[in-house]
Amino acid sequence: MIGERTDKFYSLYEREREKVDKRLAESLKNRKPDSLYEPGLYIIDGGGKRLRPLLVLFAARAAGGKFTDAYNASVAVELLHNFTLVHDDIMDNASKRRGRLTLHVRNDLSTAILVGDSLLSIAYEYLLRDCSGDSKEIMALFTKSLVDVCEGQSLDKDFESDESVSIDQYLEMIEKKTAALLKMCCKVGGILGGGTKKEINALANFGKNIGIAFQIQDDLLDITGEEIELGKFVGGDLVEGKKTFLFIKALEKAGGSDLKSLRNVVSNGGIKVNQIGKYKQIYFRLNVLEDARSAIKYFSGRALSSLKSLKKEEDRELFTWLANSLIKRNK
Amino acid sequence: MIGERTDKFYSLYEREREKVDKRLAESLKNRKPDSLYEPGLYIIDGGGKRLRPLLVLFAARAAGGKFTDAYNASVAVELLHNFTLVHDDIMDNASKRRGRLTLHVRNDLSTAILVGDSLLSIAYEYLLRDCSGDSKEIMALFTKSLVDVCEGQSLDKDFESDESVSIDQYLEMIEKKTAALLKMCCKVGGILGGGTKKEINALANFGKNIGIAFQIQDDLLDITGEEIELGKFVGGDLVEGKKTFLFIKALEKAGGSDLKSLRNVVSNGGIKVNQIGKYKQIYFRLNVLEDARSAIKYFSGRALSSLKSLKKEEDRELFTWLANSLIKRNK
């Protein structure tokens, strides 16, 4: 029975994901100039889980509406997400994303900046299409998540040169950088689906907590993932000197030569690629991968417990399946 | 009498400009993190004519409303404008703006990208504050101008390596890159002021045509301006290989060695600073500065003739004064 349900949800996810892909491609077609929209389409064609648009759609249904109520909003949130990816990849000097060249490497810096801006502009255009009576609330939520993403990214950069970042500060940062967008997706979907205040809040809490779990999982995958699955190279966060959950926990627990090695990452602004193995060993020694797994369990648990307010069992099961798939993912 | 009017309009402009400056600074104060909003405030503190917010306010009044109807929208359009400046300065390798270091030079590339994004996010936040019944229309106009600005900037970049750009293509580009935002300012102001369809269209036409005149004037000032007044270095467009009105006209009219010299600008993607004098001489020889002045006159004339639909003489005079000040400006 559980197997059947899982198959059913997986099929639903894949079916809707394909439709999202199609609508995303359409959102940038038949626009000029090509110099702007061809690289935009390249970014959009790169694929991805399409988690954010699917959250919008599932939330709309769980709130009593239909997927069609939120089709354009689902395009908008994925465009917003891709805008952040293009600009973040410049800031992080990333050369690969989803197994392909990043835009500033494939084209050039100017194109990447401008295409990012452009994706955001089309995102607002699409969001407005699904806004009727409650346009102001939805536009404000979308805008708030954009403000949060900028602030979160700024904190993330600040933390690179800061030795004293605590897990609390880290959580505040990823709430803005990652969880705010997922929360907004659930909330906007809930509003467009015509949900009650209680339902919308439940969905928002799910989105926020699953977003936190998702980011810690991302930090974990940077160490435990496989390059071929991730589509980017393993250990990149260490090379970039990012303050991940693993790094902060390790810094908290380490002593002696391990602590000295970790402090070197901060003072040097990262490590060399040939040092990744050494730092992996430190993480294993300090058991911080287990700490990350516990934290993921904790936040996904909080996400799941907020589902109680959803009316239909099938929606509760769908979101539960989604949460479990996310924390078991390998990319 | 005309002198008195002019003094009165100048005082009004300056008084409202100061208020705009204050509200702009407030828009970024008391926000965290400092790493994001301190450089944001630096950009905002750089001053400038504040033409766009003043257009919003004057349009609101001309449409029958009050300045206070559009205070937040006026902050929004200036934030949007500054977002484009920060990103454009990266793309243009500009080191100075308004007599001060550009953000990517003062701070770094990542900060400049992120601060630009952030200014746009706060722009939407402010715009929403002035949106009541007609929020969807205003948000759509604002978003449309953002889409246009991205497309115009992309065309501007394309044109750098294109020898065959015509004046028509140039006009299409500056309509998107510059005029779309000024048009939107007038339209949004008109809507917030409660104008009739006819009044709003008249204001939009004023904004669009004065925007085109403004950009051609900008191209002209790159050659005829003084570095100290401009706050940036003279001849920069030639150095960057930009397809300005002057350059396209010169290419159209030149023959022999002048034509060869102009073609070299395109094939080399610009000129060296010590060649600016030589190219100025070509422009003088071909009389393209006069061509630019005629074009400015033509488009500002179209702007002025659209003012007839405005009810009050004082508003017509105010916009006339504004148009004349703009085309006589030296910075």
Cβ–Cβ contact A226 with B under 8 A:
no
Chain B contact for A288 (CB, 8 A cutoff): no
Rounded mean pLDDT of A130-156? Answer: 92
Residue to mutate among B27, B36, B115, B144, with most A CBs inside 10 A, is B36
Contacts of A76 (CB under 8 A, 6+ apart): A123, A124, A126, A127, A130, A142
**Over chain A, what is the mean pLDDT?**
94
Question: Beta strands A100-101 and A96-97: pairing type?
Answer: antiparallel
* Distance separating alpha carbons of residues B311 and B316, to the nearest angstrom: 8
pLDDT, one tens digit per residue, over B274-303 is 999 999 999 999 999 999 999 999 999 999
Q: Between A and B, how many residue pairs show a Cβ–Cβ distance under 8 A?
A: 124
Nearest to B302, CA basis, from B208, B214, B171, B209: B209
Tokens 């500002």 sit on residue:
B300
- Tell me the per-residue pLDDT of B123-168, one tens digit each, with 9 for 90 and over: 999 999 987 766 889 999 999 999 999 999 999 999 998 989 999 9
Tokens coding A62: 């769980």
In a domain, A160, yes or no: yes
Q: Which residue range forms the structural domain that includes residue A312?
A: 2-323
Contacts of B241 (CB under 8 A, 6+ apart): B160, B265, B266, B268, B269, B270, B271
In a domain? residue A88: yes
* Domain-embedded: residue A248: yes
Q: For B307, which DSSP code?
A: G
Return the structure tokens found at B159.
């044109």
Q: Is residue A328 part of a domain?
A: no
Q: How far apart are CA A68 and CA A192, in angstroms?
A: 10
Q: Which CATH number do you get for residue B95? A: 1.10.600.10
The verdict on residue A331 lying in a domain is: no
Does position A259 have pLDDT exceeding 90, yes or no?
Answer: yes
Residue B232 predicted with pLDDT over 60: yes
Q: Answer whether B94 touches A (CB < 8 Å).
A: no
**B64 backbone φψ class: left, alpha, beta (φ>0; ψ -120 to 50):** left
What is the torsional sign of CA B245, B251, B252, B253? positive
- What is d(CA B297, CA A6) in angstroms, rounded to the nearest whole number? 69
Residue B41 contacts A, CB cutoff 8 Å:
no
Instruction: Specify the number of domains making up chain B.
Output: 1
Q: For A108, which residue in chain B has the nearest alpha carbon?
A: B91
Report pLDDT digits (tens) over B75-86: 999 999 999 999
Enumerate residues 116 to 155 of chain B having a beta carbon within 8 A of any beta carbon in chain A. 116-118, 120-122, 124-125, 128, 131, 135-136, 139-140, 143-144, 146-147, 150-151, 153-155
Of B33, B120, B128, the CB nearest to A154: B33
By the CB < 8 Å criterion, does B32 face chain A?
Answer: yes
Residues of A in Cβ contact (< 8 Å) with B143: 121, 124-125, 128
Average pLDDT of the residues in A191-210: 97
What separation in angstroms does the CA of B133 have from each of A3, A43, A134, B56, B236? 50, 36, 11, 18, 45
* Span B260-266, average pLDDT: 96
Q: Above pLDDT 70, what percent of chain A?
A: 96
A329: in domain: no
